[in-house]
Structures are given as C-alpha cells and as structure tokens.
Amino acid sequence: MGDTTPLPQEKALLSRYAARRDPDGRLILRSASVRGPVLGCLVPTALVVVLGSLVAVVGNFPGMFGPPALALVFAAIAVPILVRQGMRAWILGPDSIQEATVIQTRERRVKTPRVARSVVLRREVWRRRRGLTGSTDTVYVVTDRDSRLTIARFFNWAGQESRLANGGAGSLARAAPTVPVAPEPLAAPANANLLSAVSEAVRELVELLRTELGVPVAYESGETLQGPR
C-alpha cells in the first residue's frame, strides 16, 4: 500500500506544484491541483444534463436526452484522467527520479527509481489559422534509455496569459490555473536564452530539477499546428 504517514507542510511553487523534503532529504515534487479543470468539466455537464432533460420531458422531445447522455459520457472519461493528473508526484535525488502517486496527501505509491540524465526545456510555437498565436513550454526529465518523463506543460497565449496545461489542450485549457506570464511567448531560441522567454514558473521548475537531480539542462524549440483552444 505504501507509506501512510501524513506529509509535512509543502512549499507552493509558482507553477502551482508543491515541494517538500522526505526524511532522507530527497525532494518530493507534487503536481498541481486539478480543481479548476474538474469544475470546468462538471459544471457545464450538469447544465447540459438539467436543461436537456427538462426540454426532453416538458417539451416531449425524447431526442433531447441525447446531449445529456453525451455530456455524461465525456465527464465519465475526462474526470478520472484529470484526477489522476492531480495525484502525480516525483521523488528527486542525485541522478535519480522516481514516479509516485499521492492520494489525499497521505498515501504514496512509488515506482522503481530511474537514472536521470538531463532536464529538457522545449518550446513549440503555434500559429493557428484564426490568428491565434502562442507557444507550449514542456519540461521533461530524460532518463535511462533516453526515454522522457513529462513533468509539466504550460500554454502561453500571445498578448494574453500563461496557464498550466493540466486541463489538456481542449475545451478545458482555459480552466487550468494561471501562472506568471511568459515575457516572450513567440521567441524560440534552442539555447539557454530560452529561459528568459518562458514564464518565471517554468524557470523556477527547471532550476529546481537541475539542482536536485544534479544534471545538465538542454533546450529545444520547434513549431506546431497544434495548440490549445
């Protein structure tokens, strides 16, 4: 089942993640709450179910039961995925990272440690046909066999705001929590200059991972047609 000892007080990060030390001195990094995206899913679902059912019953339109049924199916799929996102955690040590699951801040299920080789900060700039522009910043940890663990992803809407991407890129993207705005959301240098273009929340997270893991940071950039709504 894992350790059920209550977790000590955690330090909140700008990314909405939280960090604390375990008894061995390793840092436990916990993902952000998904309350916003979950509410962003459940509230519209409830409205569709109530209004659709009301129209179907009062107006005698059986076909109006269809939209509520689809909304319930969507919520049944999306909510568990979102909740799982909010339970992710990583235990960081010198050259080592472990994936973990935190349930109600008490229970921890830990996977096998993996060798950490580097931290990667990648930016992808997106330019949509509707004129919407921005970028996606992703923080990875490269482990053994060159596989990558995605630690966090952030969306930057040019001229607007930056948000943690824990609500996905669909209709719930704007329900995710905001973070400090990226000063240069469309700049994409594939070197250390990228740090000055991303949100302060991203810089803080990259520096924390670099320090705790004791590994170098690599920078990547590119373009994509896929961006949040």
Within a domain: residue 130? yes
Model pLDDT, residue 5: 44
Same domain, 165 and 107: yes
126 and 66 share a domain? no
Does residue 6 belong to any structural domain of this protein?
no
The answer to whether residues 108 and 63 belong to one domain is no
The gap between the terminal CA atoms of the chain, to the nearest Å, is: 39
For residue 208, the enclosing domain spans: 11-31+87-224
Per-residue model confidence as pLDDT tens digits over 83-133: 777 688 999 999 999 998 887 655 566 788 999 999 999 999 998 766 679
Q: pLDDT of 13-39, one tens digit each? A: 999 999 998 888 889 999 987 776 767
Residue 12: pLDDT over 50: yes
Question: Is pTM, for the whole model, over 0.85?
Answer: no
Q: What is the pLDDT of residue 119?
A: 98
Strand boundaries in the chain, DSSP class E: 11-12, 18-21, 27-30, 88-93, 96-103, 107-110, 114-127, 133-143, 148-157, 162-164, 178-179, 217-224
Tell me, yes or no, whether 161 and 53 share the same domain: no
Residue 5 covered by a domain: no
